[in-house]
Chains A and B, each alone.
Chain A
Amino acid sequence: MIKAEKATKLFGDCCAVNELDCSIPKGCIYGLIGSNGAGKSTFLRLITGVYKADMGRVTLEGREIHENPELKAQIAYVPDELYFLGNASMKRMAQMYACLFPGFNEKRFRELTAAFPLNPASSINSFSKGMKRQAAIILALSCMPRYIFFDETFDGLDPIMRGLVKNFITNDVLERGVTAIITSHSLRELEDTCDQLALLHKGGIVFESDIQNLKTSLFKVQIAFEAPYDESMFQELTIQSYSKCGSVSSFIVRGGREETAEILRAKNPILLDVLPLSLEEVFVHEMSALGYSFDQAGQQGGDENVE
């Protein structure tokens, strides 16, 4: 289990992760989403032991990660900014990984290299952005980690490669009980892959939920009545983002879908649609609720670069 207790990381005056609490169970694929500068990458660096929490603690299996080689040997970390030796080929990088990571498996490396269409003898410098990411993922997964921490994993990958990476992650989780934490802005990818999702904002987890639960606890309603009405008509529901255009109202409801539909049907609407929310809509909605909208993002400007 990965656990953060009041974990705080400061960069000078800027607090990138602020008293963050979370616990990630073993064998779970955990997605981290959040606005730019929310502290996703910083949090990943804290749980990989790159950073040490200024306050609070981050533990893996109950032990501090920072300066703990035994735990770090079980982690594969692919950061958003990748690192390869200058002018090195995949072969050279594999040689380096084999030297530095005790769990590096040559056979797995060969399998993965065969699965991804990369030439291990070519210089990585000549690779495209997506190919470089593939290379980093191959190297990381070849270390046979028990924990996989991927930052902006799918950035630059084409849909086929994304599918391949997802497959490998899922297989590792299923077959070897690996725990994975993935951050991404592509909510569509996380929706498919993750078991749990956490939303980070301003260095703290705003909510944390099972993906299925998240998708079923929020839904969009479109409703119209013959008689005039207003928002007070739906007092028994937990309504968010209410808007009305003519006689048609749109709003998001938190709660059980069937119960809500039942309540609304009892009011005899002339139009009633109860639609599921995509993860992206959930994200936008939750962020708007926290005061992070298009307008405000524009105003906040450059102070969102702590990652």
Chain B
Amino acid sequence: MAGLTRRAVIAASVAAALSLAACGGGKQPSGPGGGASAAKTGFSAWALTGGAETTMKNSFATWTKENSSAPASVEFIANDAYKEKIRTAVGSGNAPTLIWSWAGGSLQDYVKNKNVVDLTDSTKELQSRLVPSILDTGKVDGKVYAVPNNNAQPVLMYYNLDVLKKAGISTPPKTYAELLDAVSKLKAAGVDTPISLAGQSLWPELMWIEYLLDRQAGTEVFDRILKGDKSAWSDPGMLEAMGKVQELVKAGAFGDKFGSVVADSNADAALLHTGKSAMLLQGAWVYGTFLTDAPDFVKSGKLGWGPFPTIEGGKGDPSNVYGNPANFWSVSAAASPEQQKAAIDYLNKAMFNESYVTDLVKDGMVPVTNDAAPKFKGSDQEKFLTYAYDMTANAKNFQLSWDQSLSAAQSQALLNNLGQLFLGRQTPEGYAKAMQAVQ
């Protein structure tokens, strides 16, 4: 191994990042630095790759063409890398003018440290176009600090109807018992991985425990956790849900190789459309992946979708949905007043205008606007979009994913222990105890 130099480099870079951040703990009047360069009156933004990337690229390009005095400079960054980069940037006063987030825990941190500005009054124009329940996710203490910027992302079941049919299953499982039954039928038919699961990425495992808990015990248990009641981790409903995870793993529902599957490379979706597995629990954004990676599979009608199965005797409302209501833009408090104004202008005038919505729909995404439904009519993706829109609109409760709504320390402990649970190296009781130990 290349020794001393490498150590020095790592130590220096980590420490440099830490000390850089330390220097800029307070507010800095200077404009955005850190790779996001924009003219003094223009604004910068860091957005995520994939998903609504095309829509956003078009939107920013059009804006810059029409407003040469306030140009937008945007950088697209991959999910995992972004989450780490943005924290240091915001903490050191070098954030881009527009800060991408999932709302939830990280937004609360930003608000607490006054890193973002109040948008309640300044973005009224944009807010009037958006679905109120999704807008609520961007509020902290009743004030708007983040506005949605793309599509509703409910988590739902995808099916390879072809594989199901070959195993003698005519309709996708509607209940947990039917799901277990389908697993054993698929196994018997030679499908090694009945349910595709990206275990290495961990967060897809979270979707299972979220839905199992919700169907089992309703929203009440997680609400208690959100309020800081740690005893909820050992609530019978929670233990039951964790037990069901283990039951599925033991039944071989996810096969024996899920630990190598990575969601960022869309390997879980690939397992489904290549016929190696029959079911997949994933976000609505994966529909876009199917469209790009396997257009014929979608066109031939082999792709099915539906809600998460119910549990017999469970308390949860079957219309409850987990996922990301949307992604959000916040405006950095460290940006200059001109930049803030330009960014807010952009939000009001260019976000979710006619062409923005059209672009989203074209790529198979559900815009979070009030009047989205008629826009799907006649589009190629009408069936899926209508389903996902109705699912979002009719949900009795649309809960933001746990890893986004809890604090960073909690969500890391959550994911870590969840990985262990799926590996069979953690018991439900041990899981509950580990979560209660997190500060």
Interaction A to B: no
